[in-house]
C-alpha cells in the first residue's frame, strides 16, 4: 500500500537546524511530488512548500523562503525538509504528503507526522 513514514521527534535549540525525512513506498516515487505541511500546537494546517520527485523543482511558502530547503533522494525514495534558524514558533508537528502535480490536486496519503520542539 502507498505509505509515507517520517523520522522521529526532534528537540532543538533556537537558532539550530532540523532535517525531517519522509520515506515513500508502494508507488512510483518519481511520478508524484511531496508537499510539507506543519501544525503548531492546537492550531490549523500551514502549507510549507512542494517538491517534485521527478525533477527536484521546489516551491516554498513566501514566509519560509531562505530558511527552508526541500530535497529528494530517488535512490532511497525519501524526501527531506530542512528548516534553519529555528525559533520557538517553529514548534509544530511537520507532515509530508503525496501530491500529483504542483498547482492543483489533493494530498494523499500523509505521513504520521514529526514533532519538532524548539526550546532553550
Partner 1 sequence: SYVLTQPPSVSVAPGQTARITCGGNNIGSKSVHWYQQKPGQAPVLVVYDDSDRPSGIPERFSGSNSGNTATLTISRVEAGDEADYYCQVWDSSSDHHVVFGGGTKLTVL
104 binds partner 1 (CB under 8 A): yes
| DSSP assigned state of 76 | T
C-alpha cell at 56: 527536484
Length of the chain: 120
Pick the binder of partner 1 from 30, 63, 82, 85 (CB under 8 A): 63
Within 13 Å, how many C-alpha atoms sit on residue 31's CB side?
A: 5
CA pseudo-torsion sign 93, 22, 1, 104: positive
82 binds partner 1 (CB under 8 A): no
Pick the binder of partner 1 from 61, 71, 91, 117 (CB under 8 A): 61
Query: Which among 3, 7, 31 is positioned nearest to 97, based on CA atoms?
Result: 3
- Closer residue to partner 1, CB minimum distance, 26 or 105: 105
- Closer residue to partner 1, CB minimum distance, 22 or 75: 22
Pick the binder of partner 1 from 29, 34, 52, 111 (CB under 8 A): 111
Cα separation of 26 and 12, whole Å?
A: 32
Pick the binder of partner 1 from 8, 75, 89, 103 (CB under 8 A): 103
Question: Which residues contact partner 1 by CB under 8 A?
Answer: 35, 37, 44-47, 50, 59, 61-63, 95, 97, 103-113
Amino acid at each position: 500500500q502507498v505509505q509515507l513514514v517520517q523520522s522521529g521527534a526532534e528537540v532543538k535549540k533556537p537558532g539550530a537546524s532540523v532535517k525531517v525525512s519522509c520515506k515513500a513506498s508502494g508507488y512510483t516515487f518519481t511520478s508524484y511530488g511531496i508537499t510539507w505541511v506543519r501544525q503548531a500546537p492546537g492550531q490549523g494546517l500551514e502549507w510549507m512548500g512542494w517538491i517534485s520527485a521527478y525533477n527536484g523543482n521546489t516551491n516554498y511558502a513566501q514566509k519560509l523562503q531562505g530558511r527552508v530547503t526541500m530535497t529528494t533522494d530517488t535512490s532511497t525514495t525519501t524526501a527531506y525538509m530542512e528548516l534553519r534558524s529555528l525559533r520557538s514558533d517553529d514548534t509544530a508537528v511537520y507532515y509530508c504528503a503525496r501530491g500529483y502535480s504542483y498547482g492543483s490536486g489533493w494530498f494523499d496519503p500523509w505521513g504520521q507526522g514529526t514533532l519538532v520542539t524548539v526550546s532553550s
